[in-house]
Structure 1
C-alpha cells in the first residue's frame, strides 16, 4: 500500500505546470487572479482603449459589454453603466488594478497610450520599479508598472495609494 504522503496530488504534475509554478505544490500556490470587471461610462471608447493599452483580443462584444482576453488567458470584462454612474474612491472594494508591462518597450508603449488618452499622467518610482498612472475614457485610474513584482520584489507601499 502506498504511503499517503507519497501519493501524487490530484491535478497536474510539476512537469506539467507553468515554469513559474514548477516545484511549488499546487495546494500552496493559492488562487490566481483570472479576470477583472470594470464598469465604464462609454463602452465603445473604453473597449478600444483597453484593447490597445493591454494588447488584448476582443472575444465577445455586445452593445453594453466586452470581453477582452490576453495572451496569458487573463480576462477583462467591460460593462457599460452609463455616463452618470459614480466611482466612489475610498469606499470598500477594489480601487486600483496595477498592470505589469511585458518589458521596457511595452512600458513605453503603455505610457504613449495613456498620454494619448489623458493629460493626467503621473510617474512614480519605487525601489527598482516604476509605475505610470493615467486615466481611461471614464476617468478611472489605470496603472502600469515595470518591472513586475515577479522580477523585483515590492518592499514598500507607494504612499499615493494609502494616504
Structure 2
C-alpha cells in the first residue's frame, strides 16, 4: 500500500464519487493538488518528533530550537512547531481538527496500534464499513488516527459520527 502522500489513481474504487474516469484539466495524469505537508503545533517538538518518527516511520531532516521537520518516504512532510506546555487545542473551532493516516498494511496497522498503546492510555478502535480506525494521543494530547485499509482500497461510504456530526 502506498503512503498517504503518493497518488494512487488505479481505477474507480479510488476515485471520488464526482470524479470521471478520465482527468480533464491538463492531461491524463492531472488530478489536481494532493496533500504534501501537515503543520502541527505541539507542546514540545523534540518529544513529538520522536513520537511521530516512530509512529509514521519518518525521518527528522531539520531541527531548530522551536521546530522540527519530518519527511516520509515519497517526500510527505510533517512540520512540528513548539507553542509551549500550556497551549490548548480547542475542538470544534474553525480549522483542521484531525489528520487520519493510512497504515501500509495489516502488520503496519498492528505496529501503529502498539506504538499508540505504549505511549497513550487513551486509545480506542472503531470499525467502519470495511475498514478499522484506531485513535490515540500524541505527547501533546492531540488525537492521532490511523486507518486500515485506506480510502484508496475501501471507499468511505459513511461519515463517522464521532468526528463530523
TM-score, normalised via structure 1 length: 0.84
Partner of 1:108: 110
Structure number with the higher helix fraction is: 1
Structure 1's 26 and 56: CA in aligned 2 closer, same or farther, altered over 3 A? farther
Structure number with the bigger relative contact order (C-alpha 8 A, sep ≥ 6) is 2
Q: Deviations over 1:10-57 (max 9, x none)?
A: xxxxxxxx8835864564512100000000002211010000000001
Q: Deviations over 1:101-150 (max 9, x none)?
A: 00001000100110011010000000100000000000000000000000
User: Using the alignment, how far apart are the partners of 2:86 and 2:104 within structure 1?
Assistant: 34
Structure 1's 127 and 41: CA in aligned 2 closer, same or farther, altered over 3 A? same
Partner of 1:11: none
Partner of 1:3: none
Where does 1:9-158 land on structure 2 (aligned, <5 Å)? Answer: 20-21=8-9, 24-25=23-24, 27=26, 29-158=31-160
Unaligned segments of structure 2, at least 5 residues:
1-5, 11-21
Larger radius of gyration: 1
Partner of 1:8: none
Deviating beyond 6 angstroms after TM superposition, the runs of 4 or more aligned structure 1 residues are: none
Unaligned segments of structure 1, at least 5 residues:
1-17
